[in-house]
Amino acid sequence: MKFSRVIGVDVASKKLDVFNSATGKGQELKNSREAVMRFAKSLGNPKDTLVVCEATGAYEHFLVDVMHELGFSVCIANPRQVRQFANGHGFLEKTDRIDAQILAKFGQQVEVNLATPRTEQEKRLIALVRRRIQVLQLIGQEKNRAGQCYDKVALESLTKSIKFLKKQLKSLDLMIAEALVEAAKTTPVIEILLSVPGVGTVVAATLYCELPELGKLNRYQIAKLVGVAPLARQSGKSDGKRPVRGGRSKARKVLYMAALVASQTNPLIKPYYQKMLKRGKEKKLALVACMRKLLVILNEMVHRQQKWLEPEKKGATATVAKLGPPLATCSIA
């Protein structure tokens, strides 16, 4: 979809640098809900207007929430992709004002994925899931420090810290489970995800929060978005190994754990995993293939709004065979 006006916004903790492609002018705003609201209202009709910013992890929330509330289309772009775009267009300098201009040009020339507006319930679930990820990282860091600590007093402090963080992790797991139950009352996607063997509460919550495109893209697009699609490396007579890289790291990490469980319990993924091993594939490579297959199955199920169906006989290749026409180019065989 092409937009007649693109607003590029470089986001920082305290300020926003804005560039309007329609006027060719830039300005600086305070990064607060009130300032963003005033600016958004000054733009007038949100129709045919796209707002482009980069993912910062948190600082773009005021901007995205206000723009969605007022009906603007919003793209939260991958910073690495934007930087490569800038280099390709000869923008070797980097300042906040230049970045805002680059983001506007990026929105004009690249076919972008629009961010999905979130309800308050969804925002809370996202916050809980991301906090859980942070606590897991803190536990890993404290364990590493404890492994390198030889002082008794310092080690005791680290042990207490780890114990506290693990307690907080259990508390977050309970809150996420409760939030999922509430969200499932109005969102069928959650029950669909939870119905699949190998997909638990944390996996379902993370995919729901971090991968809103699930069910809206074809098999290659969703695999590439997550970072489990093999990328071609061919030039002339050379055709190298096709690596997987990039993508949504949070979604990819939980998908790995889901594939690990599914390779032992899921009636479709388990034989597929064993088949890969028999063909001489390394375990890690076989698991990545299982991640991709599981993701494609989930993508198809969400698109068709159908829960998991156990295969009727050994060797069945689809869990959603009774559901009508598939998502374009998204066969799960």
Instruction: Tell me if 299 sits within 8 A of 255, measured CB to CB.
Output: no
Give the number of domains in the chain. 3
Least confident of 25-29, 84-88, 121-125, 327-331: 327-331
Q: Tell whether 205 and 298 lie within a shared domain.
A: yes
Confidence of residue 232 (pLDDT cuts 50, 70, 90): low
pLDDT tens-place string over residues 31-73 = 999 999 999 999 988 888 999 999 887 788 889 999 999 999 9
Q: Tell whether 140 and 207 lie within a shared domain.
A: no
Average per-residue pLDDT for the chain:
86
Q: Is residue 323 part of a domain?
A: no
| Percent of the chain clearing pLDDT 90 (strictly above) | 53
Instruction: Tell me if 135 sits within 8 A of 169, measured CB to CB.
Output: yes
Q: Is residue 115 part of a domain?
A: no
3-state secondary structure of 248: coil
Could you tell me the residue range of the domain that residue 55 belongs to? 5-109
Q: What is the CATH number of the domain that holds 78?
A: 3.30.420.40
Q: Tell whether 286 and 205 lie within a shared domain.
A: yes
Q: Tell whether 220 and 280 lie within a shared domain.
A: yes
Q: Tell whether 14 and 103 lie within a shared domain.
A: yes
pTM, 2 dp: 0.75
Q: Is residue 333 part of a domain?
A: no
Q: Tell whether 222 and 264 lie within a shared domain.
A: yes
- What is the separation of C-alpha 331 from the centre of its chain, rounded to a whole number of angstroms? 22
Instruction: Tell me if 208 sits within 8 A of 194, measured CB to CB.
Output: no
Task: Round to whole Å and give the CA distance between 288 and 200.
Answer: 19
Q: Is residue 135 part of a domain?
A: yes
Q: Is residue 245 part of a domain?
A: yes
Instruction: Tell me if 255 sits within 8 A of 226, measured CB to CB.
Output: yes
Instruction: Tell me if 76 sits within 8 A of 54, measured CB to CB.
Output: yes
Strands 49-54 and 25-30: unpaired
Q: Tell whether 28 and 97 lie within a shared domain.
A: yes
Q: Tell whether 55 and 146 lie within a shared domain.
A: no
Interior angle at CA 274, CA 270 and CA 279, nearest 5: 150
Q: Is residue 317 part of a domain?
A: no
